[in-house]
């Protein structure tokens, strides 16, 4: 039903409009009221964050708020794979016959998810985990293990919701929505962190390049990062403005993920697997 109701809704235009509003520095009483209401509705505890509730001049600044030091400790185990975000597990498991599970009874194409990247077959037989960031979650994205960003691929697309309505109602959702894919050279081999845009703003930014997604006139972009951008395990990789979902892709025979079930919650820095 959701798919048919919102098929023709101008999701990209609406999201850009919401982004413009979120970027405005409204009078402080207005901003305080908006942030206060948002915090109450989504039950957001600000104790983990570096900036107090009254310290934000825009809603975007609030939404992309940074953590206070030590709020998300990252394991020192060099063999660990850590969660790149705070969120809930949508699905996790093996990549089989070029397909990933979207939801019970529904799968989507790995090649389509990676926007036709020439190296997509390198993940066949590997593992994936899809993590959904709700409106209440911390919305910065971090590295799952130490490595260097060697390249990225930006694939413009739709901006369907990535909440339960979209996951259960939009075929091939994660391969249809806009994606920004960071490829990292790690001890596991090449690891892909797929950042999926969604309704309401849909922008994604990264620390290693000035690209911002959901801009008019963008086409598929693939660039090499030279020299590669080195990042420690748990280092900040990018952020959502607002949204969304992260899909972590691991090559075959390199790692074992914990036995997560759909709906399990994770926090950034939490161990979610180990090197095989």
For residue 86, indicate whether it is catalytic.
yes
- CB-CB contact of 201 with 162 (8 Å): no
Assigned token pair, 235: 């280092």
The catalytically annotated residue of 83, 139, 142, 229 is 142
For residue 154, indicate whether it is catalytic.
no
For residue 158, indicate whether it is catalytic.
no
Task: Please identify every residue annotated as catalytic.
Answer: 86, 142, 244
């Amino acid at each position: 039903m959701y798919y048919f109701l919102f098929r023709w809704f101008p999701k990209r235009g609406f999201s850009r409009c919401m982004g413009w509003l979120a970027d405005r520095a409204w009078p402080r009483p207005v901003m305080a009221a908006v942030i206060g209401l948002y915090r109450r509705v989504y039950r957001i505890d600000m104790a983990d964050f570096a900036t107090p509730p009254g310290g934000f001049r825009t809603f975007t600044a609030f939404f992309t708020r940074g953590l206070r030091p030590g709020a998300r400790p990252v394991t020192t185990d060099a063999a660990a794979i850590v969660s790149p975000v705070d969120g809930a597990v949508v699905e996790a498991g093996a990549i089989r016959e070029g397909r990933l599970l979207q939801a019970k009874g529904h799968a989507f194409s790995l090649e389509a998810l990676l926007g036709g990247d020439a190296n997509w077959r390198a993940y066949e037989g590997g593992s994936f985990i899809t993590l959904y960031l709700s409106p209440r979650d911390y919305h910065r994205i971090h590295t799952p293990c130490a490595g260097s960003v060697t390249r990225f691929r930006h694939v413009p697309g739709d901006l369907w919701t990535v909440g339960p309505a979209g996951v259960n109602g939009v075929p091939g959702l994660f391969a249809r929505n806009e994606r920004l894919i960071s490829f990292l050279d790690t001890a596991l081999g090449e690891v892909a962190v797929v950042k999926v845009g969604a309704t309401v703003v849909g922008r994604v930014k990264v620390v290693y390049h000035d690209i911002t997604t959901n801009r008019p006139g963008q086409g598929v972009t693939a660039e090499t990062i030279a020299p590669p951008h080195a990042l420690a395990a748990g280092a900040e990789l990018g952020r959502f403005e607002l949204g969304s979902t992260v899909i972590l892709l691991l090559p075959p025979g390199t790692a074992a993920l914990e036995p997560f079930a759909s709906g399990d919650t994770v926090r950034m820095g939490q161990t979610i697997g180990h090197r095989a």
